[in-house]
A and B are shown apart, each in its own frame.
Chain A
Amino acid sequence: MSFLGLLVRNRLAFAGLVVMLVIVVLALVTPLLPLADPDVTDTANRFKRPFAASVILGTDHLGRDLLSRLLWGVRLSLAVGFASALIAAAIGAAIGIIAGFYGGRTDNVIMRGVDMLMAFPYILLALAIVASLGPGLINALIAVAAVNIPFFARNIRGVTVSIAHTEFVDAARLSGMGDARIILTEILPNVVPVIVIAMSTTVGWMILETAGLSFLGLGSQPPQADLGSMLGEARSALITNPHTSIVPGAMILVIVMSINLLGDGVRDALDPRLRSGALSRPMPSTLVRREEPVPAKETSALLALSGLKTQFHSNGRIHKAVGGVDLYVRPGECVGVVGESGSGKSVTALSVMGLVASPPGVITAGAAHFSGQDLIGANYETLRRLRGDRVAYIFQDPLTALHPLYTVGAQLVEAIRVHHAMPRAKAREHAVELLESVRIPNAEERLDGYPHELSGGMRQRVGIAMALANDPELIIADEPTTSLDVTVQAQILSLLSELQRERGLAIIFITHDFGVVAQLCNRVAVMYAGRIVEEGPTDAILNAPAHPYTARLMACVPELGRGRHRLAAIPGLPPVLDGLPEGCAFAERCHKAKEACRTGEIALTANAVQRAVRCIDPEFRTADAAR
């Protein structure tokens, strides 16, 4: 969408633009309007109220026409505000570009100076400058411009530095172009948008500042009056004749507010993060808008997903991350969910407890029965009570998954006390036991350390301890070993499998690595393009994969922990999920693809030995294997 389009779509910014334009036009045509002379005093008609006879806005303490003075004042205030913004921008940009372009010593000296200036309380510096130059409108303008120069210089230096090291600037240099020409032709055009944003966010402020100096009597001098000095003069009559104050004051407010609205709009329109919606906050639990009937509970499993569909809605586009997944886990069982990144395996895992960020995530269909209760569409409080207590998560990167500013102990104690009221000291003892159970040495000491002080493996052990805090029945582990070294991976895996056996835990293990699955899981589900393409007992699938995708995936993973690099060995990329073609999603990459693969829905076909495959021409008939 175009920049202007975005601006118009932002209604408030557009309103600001319109108001601003009206005011600017009024200010421009003021000399042409049939107004009374703003400086002619008429003491017989002092302090006329607004709308009294011939004077629309009344008269001030010297009987001067307020409407006329207001418009002339607006003219002056706008001129001074914009002029100081332009001066500050021009000089600030020049300084910033020079510092950023030349770098090194020049940069250092200049930025030191800029930092010094920024160390001043802003208005104080302006006052000092006016004190030196003497009161007067031009001097106020200079002062306000001067104190804003550092802001521009700093912003523009940053951008210049990033541009100055790009290839085209290097190329220009090599081709013998002079510095001045490089700055003018390569750097300046790229810096202009930044200058515009910086100006749009500061010009309102500068109008306020110049008005302020005039208000203090340090800016425009009588009889000439900008909005600030009008307000300053009216102040002595504030109580008896408030209208003389309100008229110029409200005008300043309207001007600055419309500029700010516009400035915000410009900034938002230019900020790519806002456009993508990345700055919207995730709600406490994933949005559920089921468009299909809720599937009934079928199995006696601990957790049974049926027909789960999770989508991402953003900017009018729908990304179907999970397109109808059925999966179950029995108590004490470990189920692996394997797939490439983007296959929807993590989103499936997060959907269970409503942890998919929403916006943009929406669960549009399906059910997740946990001990008979449907979690999809359960209210927030129900979910919250189960989260971490009966169903716990272990996440991929323990560095980002643990709170960086709380101690390990505080985070463990919290996990315990959220679900089990107990004194802090008792929770702490329990936390020590937890750390010991995941084999962290010096557990007591570790409790008072912060996550960043631990190694990656230790951090993930803390993550596991936290998941174990309330003795859950089910742990959902979302690639818990992916971010770790190979040796550490092996340790964490054996820890998990030990814990699983000791405690009779059910685990859903999300991974892209068949090696990991072999070591830990009883059963495996392979996901591709948001759906399960093959499912069955781990040994059976490892010995004889039925789906061509599974076979390829396994062929790429000769040993534990190497999966990530080898996966690229499958030719082609996973399909884009918003426009899935009809038929088999793997067809593009499948060596056995034929006409029939590209039409109709290919079902997940099950057989007697609990294996199922979504393929019309599997590597071998699963039924044969049963024989």
Chain B
Amino acid sequence: MADYILKRLVSAIPVLLGISIIVFLIMAMIPGDPAMAILGSYATPENVEKLNRDLGLDKPLVQRYFIWLGNMLQGDFGRSFSLNRAVLHEVLERFNATLVLAGTSFVICSVLGVAAGTVSAARQYGLADKAITFAVLLGISIPSFFLGMMMILVFAVNLRWFPVSGMWPIYGERDLPSLISHLTLPAMVLAAVATGVIARLSRSAMLEVLRQDFIRTARAKGVHERSVIWRHALRAAMVSIIPVLGVQAGFVLSGAVYVEIVFQWPGVGRMLVDAILKRDILLVQGGVVFVAACYVMFNLAVDLAQSLLDPRIKT
């Protein structure tokens, strides 16, 4: 087992390097003079030249990449000029907020999605199946930013059940109940799409499994139907559902951008959009690499979880 974990950890290194290269190349595509782009058209030539030197843009591409990579490995992601702050500090702080939001959403969409898909498969073509199929279709078709706005309108403005926006109350305690009340709407909105996708795939994974011989064996043993579905079938279906959960985690993590904007959640997505609009390249670069790296590590964890769940995977 330890060998297997180590092997998987090592295999993540080229992926992480690849990600850094991709981000670096994308950022190097910036048309024209980046310093000009950053400083705007009123910049003096001296300022442009100084910034170019500060950013190391006068060096060749490959060398710049390695300098950047080396710095990152030492925890130096550069300095955000728009916030005048170390990129890493800003990203870490914002990432915390995103993690709370996306983590909650991920739990919601996993549990709800798998449960809905299972019920749907067990009651194929029944009323519950049809209702769930419709809800799923709605969930994957509605833009999360629109759903978020509608939820604010209904549950925050009209019914006043939840606050309109933010992560914490402006005045008052920053305690768990206030976090939960701020978190509920955005977390549900963010979970909507992923719940739909997961429910759909769970349904078809379950239908696939329910045809298998071992389900017939379970029934021949006289196992209660409830247990046939939720123990025998779901356990086997999880093997194909879990990788989907991993993929959906990425959607939740990056889809948080919209929800963070709509609910003014102080997360990394909102930071990125602000940074893009202000042309704060280093902040964008650092934020993207950081989040992508976290996602790779998360998927690694999913893989390992998979190997624990499926004894047939040789460890």
Q: Which of A249-257, A294-302, A310-318 contacts the other chain?
A: A249-257
Which residues of B are found within 8 Å of A132, using beta-carbon distances? 26-30
Q: Is A4 an interface residue (CB 8 A)?
A: no
Q: Are B312 and A257 interface neighbours, CB within 8 A? A: no
Instruction: Indicate the member of B140, B141, B250, B273 with the most A CB atoms within 10 Å.
Output: B141
B-side contacts of A385, CB under 8 Å: 222
CB pair B27–A128 under 8 Å, yes or no, is yes
> Using Cβ atoms and an 8 Å threshold, which residues of chain B touch A392?
220-221
Q: Are A387 and B15 in contact (CB under 8 A)?
A: no
Q: In this complex, which of B140, B257, B258, B295 has the most chain A Cβ atoms within 10 angstroms of its Cβ?
A: B257
Within 8 A of B (CB), among A204-262: 204, 208, 211-212, 215-218, 228, 231, 235, 238-239, 242, 245-246, 249-250, 252-253, 256-257, 260-261
Q: Mark B9-41, 1 if CB is under 8 A from A, else 0.
A: 000000100110011001111110000010000
Interface stretch (choices A42-50, A192-200, A276-284, A556-564): A276-284
Contact segment of A97-105, A116-124, A330-338, A592-600: A116-124
Instruction: Say whether, besides A127-B272, A132-B29, A238-B152, A401 and B216 are in contact (CB < 8 Å).
Output: yes
Contacts of B295 in A (CB 8 A): 119-121
In the complex, whether A130 has a CB less than 8 A from a CB of chain B is yes
Stretch at the interface among A368-376, A414-422, A615-623: A414-422
Given A135-B277, A400-B213, the answer on whether A387 and B221 have CB atoms closer than 8 Å is yes
8 A Cβ contacts from A393-450 to B? 393, 395, 397, 400-406, 414-415, 418-419, 450
Q: Does A521 contact B (CB under 8 A)?
A: no
Q: How far is the CB of B226 from chain A (nearest CB, A)?
A: 10
Name the prevailing secondary structure of the B interface residues.
Answer: helix
Among residues of B, the one whose C-beta sits closest to the C-beta of A400 is: B213
A452 within 8 A of partner (CB): yes
Closest CB-CB distance, A422 to chain B, in whole Å? Answer: 15
Count class of interface residues, chain A: 35 or more
Question: Within 8 Å of chain A (Cβ to Cβ): is B219?
Answer: yes
**Cα distance A242–B157 when bound, in Å?**
11
Measured in the bound complex, the distance between the Cα atoms of B153 and A418 in whole Å is 51
CB pair B220–A388 under 8 Å, yes or no, is: yes
Of B137, B288, B291, the residue contacting A261 (CB under 8 A) is B137
Within 8 A of B (CB), among A107-151: 112-113, 115-117, 119-125, 127-135
Give Cα A249 to B152, complex, Å: 14
- Chain B's nearest CB lies how many Å from the CB of A179? 29
Contacts of B214 in A (CB 8 A): 400-404
Q: Are A135 and B276 in contact (CB under 8 A)?
A: yes
Shortest CB–CB separation between residue B94 and chain A, in angstroms?
14
B-contact bits for A345-383, CB 8 A (1 contact / 0 none): 000000001010100000000000000000000001000
The answer to whether B311 touches A278, judged by C-beta atoms less than 8 angstroms apart, is: no
Q: Are A121 and B291 in contact (CB under 8 A)?
A: yes
Contact yes or no, A128 B23, CB < 8 A: yes
Rounded to whole Å, the gap between the CB of A523 and the closest CB of chain B is 24
B119 within 8 A of A: no
Decide: A403 and B19 in contact? CB cutoff 8 A: no
Q: Is the CB of A120 within 8 A of B22?
A: yes
Q: A129-B26, A401-B217 are in contact. Are A256 and B276 (CB under 8 A)?
A: no
Given A119-B18, A211-B143, are A418 and B221 neighbors across the interface (CB < 8 Å)?
yes
Of A216, A285, A401, A404, the residue contacting B312 (CB under 8 A) is A404
Known: A124-B292, A134-B37, A249-B146. A406 touches B235 (CB 8 A): yes
Asked, given contacts A131-B275, A401-B214, whether A124 binds B288 with beta carbons under 8 Å apart, the answer is yes
Query: How far is A397 from B217 in the complex, measured between Cα atoms in Å?
Result: 11
Interface centre among B140, B150, B204, B219 (most CB of A within 10 A): B219
Which residues of the partner chain B approach A397 to less than 8 Å between Cβ atoms? 213
- Give the contacts of B134-179 with A (CB-CB under 8 A): 137-138, 140-143, 145-146, 149-150, 152-153, 157, 164
Contact B311 A450 (CB under 8 A): yes
Most buried by B among A127, A278, A393, A401: A127
Q: Are A217 and B138 in contact (CB under 8 A)?
A: no
Tell me whether B251 and A239 are in contact (CB under 8 A).
Answer: no
B251 to chain A minimum Cβ distance, whole angstroms, is 6
Partner of B288, one of A128, A387, A466: A128
**B207 and A217 within 8 A (CB):** no
In the assembled complex, B96 has its CB within 8 A of some CB on chain A? no
Q: Is the CB–CB distance between A204 and B141 below 8 Å?
A: yes
Closest chain A residue to B200 by CB distance? A264
Contact A284 B219 (CB under 8 A): yes
Q: Which of B236-294 contact A (CB under 8 A)?
A: 236, 239, 250-251, 253-255, 257-258, 261-262, 272-273, 275-277, 279, 281, 284-285, 288, 291-292
Is B292 a contact partner of A119 (Cβ separation < 8 A)?
A: yes
* B273: chain A residues within 8 A (beta carbon): 127, 216-218
Closest-by-CB residue of B relative to A383 is: B222
| Nearest CB in chain A to that of B154: its residue | A242
Q: How far is the CB of B273 from chain A (nearest CB, A)?
A: 5
In the assembled complex, B215 has its CB within 8 A of some CB on chain A: yes
Indicate whether A235 sits within 8 Å of B262 (C-beta atoms), given known contacts A131-B284, A217-B277, A403-B232: yes
Asked whether any CB of chain A lies closer than 8 Å to the CB of B218, the reply is yes
Q: Is A389 an interface residue (CB 8 A)?
A: yes
B223 and chain A: residue at smallest CB distance: A418
Most buried by B among A132, A238, A284: A132
Q: Does B71 reach chain A (CB closer than 8 Å)? A: no
Contact A231 B145 (CB under 8 A): yes
Q: How far is the CB of A408 from chain B (nearest CB, A)?
A: 12
Measured between beta carbons, the chain A residues less than 8 angstroms from B288 are 124-125, 127-128, 131
A606 CB–B CB distance under 8 Å: no
- Determine if B49 is an interface residue (Cβ-Cβ < 8 Å): no
> In the complex, which residues 262-289 of chain A have their Cβ closer than 8 Å to any Cβ of chain B?
264, 278-282, 284-285
Is A281's CB under 8 angstroms from B207's CB? Answer: yes
CB distance from B68 to the nearest CB of A (A): 14
Is A249 within 8 A of B149, CB to CB? yes
Q: A279-B207, A419-B222 are in contact. List 20 more A-B contacts (CB 8 A).
A: A119-B295, A122-B250, A123-B255, A124-B272, A125-B22, A127-B288, A128-B284, A135-B277, A215-B261, A216-B257, A217-B277, A231-B146, A239-B152, A239-B153, A249-B143, A253-B143, A284-B228, A403-B218, A404-B214, A406-B235
A-B contact pairs, 28 of them (CB 8 A): A116-B18, A116-B19, A119-B295, A121-B253, A122-B254, A123-B251, A124-B253, A124-B254, A124-B272, A128-B285, A131-B275, A132-B29, A135-B276, A239-B164, A245-B149, A249-B146, A253-B146, A257-B141, A257-B142, A261-B137, A281-B124, A385-B222, A386-B222, A395-B216, A397-B213, A401-B216, A415-B221, A452-B311
Across the A-B interface, give the 10 residue pairs with the lowest CB-CB distance, nearest first.
Answer: A249-B146, A121-B254, A116-B18, A123-B254, A388-B222, A387-B222, A257-B141, A388-B221, A121-B250, A400-B213
Q: Which residues of A contact B (CB under 8 A)?
A: 112-113, 115-117, 119-125, 127-135, 204, 208, 211-212, 215-218, 228, 231, 235, 238-239, 242, 245-246, 249-250, 252-253, 256-257, 260-261, 264, 278-282, 284-285, 353, 355, 357, 380, 384-389, 392-393, 395, 397, 400-406, 414-415, 418-419, 450, 452, 466, 469
